[in-house]
Amino acid sequence: MKIEVIENVLKYNKDQADKNRKLFKDSMLLVLNLLSSPGSGKTSLILETLKRLKGKKNIGVIEGDISSTYDAEKIGKLTDNVIQINTGGSCHLNASMIEKAISKLKIKRLDLLIIENVGNLICPSGFDLGEDHKIVMSSVSEGDDKPVKYPPVFIKSDLIILNKIDLLKISDFNQNFFENKVKELNPLSDIIKLSCKTGIGMEEWIEWVLNRCKIRN
């Protein structure tokens, strides 16, 4: 009984994700689904991206949280194109929540939509939102063993971002161990190391995004 219901939920989610995907494609919109533990720096990355691409790309942001509008308020200082989804306790975003959120964004005018998922390294990776790319962010302060302990999200992501590299100098984080484990799980993934705080590595991230923005006819 339990398994049957979960399968129905995932099937329903997949159908809605396919509808979202078609809408995103028709709108020439690049959609990134940003996943991480709480406090890895997803919101900081979005804020820095908005600053660096201001005047170059129109960016929309969907903020997912179990409660509060704390992050959306920060983002709202830089753009009007932000929607907060409060999941009411649920540990992940799903495709239906995204459908409702994009109905409130003028997506035909946007080049890029960044979805900040609920801070959770496990559950969100199981739910397709219709995005072009899942991106997982890990941070130096979380330790180098995250790929070993939470494999699914690293397997399913096209890009692995290692944030807070300014802390490497005061940490025993082993970069080779981290990167080797990522590559074992997901040999085709890209890895970008950066610090939202100091700005180091941000150019590589911005270039990664710009290379994937759709060319409009």
Interacting residues toward its own copies by CB under 8 A: 1-2, 5, 9, 37-39, 65-68, 70-71, 89, 91, 118-123, 139, 141-143, 145-146, 148-152, 164, 167, 170
Work out how close the CB of 5 gets to its own copies at its nearest, in angstroms, rounded to a whole number: 5
Radius of gyration of the chain (CA): 17
Burial class (CB in 10 A: 0-12, 13-18, 19+), 24: buried
Work out how close the CB of 142 gets to its own copies at its nearest, in angstroms, rounded to a whole number: 3
Work out how close the CB of 135 gets to its own copies at its nearest, in angstroms, rounded to a whole number: 17
Between 38 and 199, CB nearer to its own copies: 38
Of 111, 116, 94, the residue nearest 43 (C-alpha): 116
Between 39 and 103, CB nearer to its own copies: 39
Work out how close the CB of 123 gets to its own copies at its nearest, in angstroms, rounded to a whole number: 5
Q: Roughly what angle, to the nearest 10 degrees, separates helices 95-102 and 2-26?
A: 30
SS3 content of the chain, % helix, strand, coil (to 5): 45, 20, 35
Between 109 and 149, CB nearer to its own copies: 149
Work out how close the CB of 73 gets to its own copies at its nearest, in angstroms, rounded to a whole number: 11
Q: How many residues does the chain have?
A: 217
Give the separation between CA 208 and CA 205, rounded to whole angstroms. Answer: 5
- Contacts with 114 (C-beta within 8 Å, 6 or more apart), sequence order: 32, 34, 46, 49, 59, 60, 61, 62
Between 65 and 111, CB nearer to its own copies: 65
Between 39 and 207, CB nearer to its own copies: 39
